[in-house]
Amino acid sequence: MMGRILDTKVTAIQFVLLAVGLGTSTDATATLCCGSLAEAGLTSRLLYPESTRYNGRQETFFSLHEDLSPWCILQPQTTEEVSTAVKTLGATEPCQFAIRSGGHHHAKASNNIHQGVTIDLGNMNSVKYHAENSTTSVEPGAQWGDIYGKLDPMGLTVAGGRDASVGVAGLVLGGGNSFYSALRGMVCDGVRRFEVVLANGDVVLANKDINSDLFQVLKGGGNNFGIVTRLDVDTFETGKLWGGLVYYPLDATADIIDAFVNFADKIDENPASSSVIFWMYQPAAKGTILGASFANIGGVVMDEPHRDFWAIQNISSSMRTTTITDLTEELILPGEVYTNVEFTLTIKSDGRAIKKVLDLHDQAVEEMKTLSDDFVSAVMFQPIALSYAAGGVARGGNVLGIDRFAETQVLCILWLQVRPELVRVAEQIMGSWYQAGHDYAVSIDQESDWIYLGYAYASQDPFAGYGRENMGKISAAAKKYDPTGVFQSRVPGGFKISKSYSGFYEDQNVMNERDEL
């Protein structure tokens, strides 16, 4: 018996040594961390550098950060395996790890790690509809397109990502803007129950009655509390949608901005209609293109709320009556080639501020052109209306803080995709773009302090824009559910409440016992 355990141990350790090479203390830590998982019985779930499957997973991040090579990638298949992994790594100092679901977040090291272990939930991707309570149980590594594809044939859907390839868990934990936001709140508000693996390996459920504080903070609070292993998502009937992409000549810019601002100001009265407008520079096209993504979830063709847009002469249009599966497949943005240096800025719904952000985009393009002809840049605008908050409060609340807005805000994505050698300079260009846009908005009293976690660069601080009360809730829950701070210090990637909130180390929060099931 003893001998057998010893044999297994030796084999696991030898395997790791083989994979990472011998010599330095870093290698010893690699051996310790990956070896501890192997010893815990997870050998068959581990991928090591240089293997085909390891390389394959490294190449499937939307934004490539080529200098991040985990010592090993763990691909759990079940909640129990996630629990074993978290408990094991948590107990093995000084192992650090990253959590990855769809791998679409662009912020460096948010979903991958150098000199650590990446827990890759990509194989936990099942989707199961439950007619008895109108929910769909989804594992975190599923893509939104997997859910739409399963539900569409039944005339059902969920509120989720607008790009079929985006991952489920990361989008929900950041809030999530969908075609349904004005009717149903943010995507996270559609989650009726989470299953979460805590730092000590406990598996807990959270809904509006059980662990309700955890339930609320998971809706916007990111990876500060545990690993989400299952989400039960509200599922509802749908017919076909009217939607697609429309491209316009660049000289329609002023008309598009006017149409957008008018539209954004009236969304609360027209909750079925949505618009995103964007300008994109592609060297291949040697110029900037102007486009918009429109949808009417009620399937109304040439819907009235979009009438100002319909009046503008277009170059091409794919607007059609179709399924959400088809529409979100059309909206897939290509990734896995460049590193994204993407910032987000929120402003009020004001044409001057939008125009300024656009002018700054043109400047950024000119600067980039002097450095390279191999990059893609874009700027996108989408409204966050008051109704997006209403859906949240009714369903147990989230911590996004959008219920504090007094008027529609406009969420801007400042987007630059570059080759690795240009990342540093791209960061400077984007940082100045963000700052100049924000400063201008302040100068005309049209700024917003909100920062969308899903689009934020690693140097931005989304929690600061949620307001102090919400930061306090996130902080209290992080300390209650992870008292030893595993998700603060051992999971360094993603946005950390301990870095963002000055009260984290001060508040004497009441450590209530967790609700048991």
Ligand X SMILES: *[C@@H]1O[C@H](CO)[C@@H](O)[C@H](O)[C@H]1NC(C)=O
Ligand Y SMILES: Cc1cc2nc3c(=O)[nH]c(=O)nc-3n(C[C@H](O)[C@H](O)[C@H](O)COP(=O)(O)OP(=O)(O)OC[C@H]3O[C@@H](n4cnc5c(N)ncnc54)[C@H](O)[C@@H]3O)c2cc1C
Residues forming contacts to ligand X in the complex (CB under 6 A) are 130, 132-133, 135, 192-193, 232, 246, 310, 314, 317, 319
Kindly tell me which of 53 and 128 has the beta carbon lying closer to ligand X: 128
**The two structure tokens encoding residue 47:** 């991928």
Can you give the length of the chain in residues? Answer: 517
**Shortest spacing between CB 56 and ligand Y, in angstroms:** 16
Q: Give, in order, the Cα–Cα distances in Å from 61 to each of 72, 169, 249, 340, 496.
A: 16, 15, 33, 11, 21
Kindly tell me which of 261 and 491 has the beta carbon lying closer to ligand Y: 491
**Residue 295 binds ligand Y, judged by CB under 6 A:** no
**Residue 438 binds ligand Y, judged by CB under 6 A:** no
Kindly tell me which of 427 and 482 has the beta carbon lying closer to ligand Y: 482
The answer to whether the CB of 199 falls within 8 A of the CB of 484 is yes
**Shortest spacing between CB 131 and ligand X, in angstroms:** 9
**Residue 96 binds ligand Y, judged by CB under 6 A:** no
Kindly tell me which of 69 and 314 has the beta carbon lying closer to ligand X: 314
Number of helical (H) and strand (E) elements in the chain, helices listed first: 16, 19
What are the φ and ψ backbone dihedral angles of 233, each rounded to 5 degrees?
A: -110, 135
DSSP states of 244-278: EEEEE-GGGHHHHHHHHHHHHHTGGG-TTEEEEEE
**Interface of this chain with ligand Y, residues 192 to 231, rule: CB under 6 A:** 222-223, 227-228
**Shortest spacing between CB 193 and ligand X, in angstroms:** 4
DSSP states of 104-150: ---STTSS--SSSEEEEGGG---EEEEGGGTEEEE-TT-BHHHHHHH
> Using CB under 6 A, which of 86, 90, 127, 163 touches ligand Y?
163
User: What kind and span of H or E run contains 427?
Assistant: helix 423-443
> Which does residue 130 touch among ligand X, ligand Y, none (CB within 5 to 8 A, set by kind)?
ligand X
> Which does residue 221 touch among ligand X, ligand Y, none (CB within 5 to 8 A, set by kind)?
none
> Using CB under 6 A, which of 171, 378, 389, 423 touches ligand Y?
171
**Shortest spacing between CB 303 and ligand X, in angstroms:** 10
The answer to whether the CB of 504 falls within 8 A of the CB of 221 is no
C-alpha 255/C-alpha 39 separation (Å) is 63
**Shortest spacing between CB 240 and ligand X, in angstroms:** 17
**Residue 243 binds ligand Y, judged by CB under 6 A:** no
> Which does residue 167 touch among ligand X, ligand Y, none (CB within 5 to 8 A, set by kind)?
ligand Y
Residue 5: partners with Cβ closer than 8 Å, 6 or more residues away: none
**Residue 333 binds ligand Y, judged by CB under 6 A:** yes
**Residue 494 binds ligand Y, judged by CB under 6 A:** yes
Residue 456: partners with Cβ closer than 8 Å, 6 or more residues away: 107, 343, 344, 462, 495
Kindly tell me which of 156 and 246 has the beta carbon lying closer to ligand X: 246
**Shortest spacing between CB 323 and ligand X, in angstroms:** 19
Kindly tell me which of 108 and 193 has the beta carbon lying closer to ligand X: 193
CA atoms within 13 A on the CB side of 323: 18
Kindly tell me which of 35 and 454 has the beta carbon lying closer to ligand Y: 454
Residues that bind ligand Y (CB under 6 A): 62, 99-105, 110-111, 121, 140, 161-163, 166-167, 169-171, 173-174, 176-177, 222-223, 227-228, 333, 454-455, 493-494
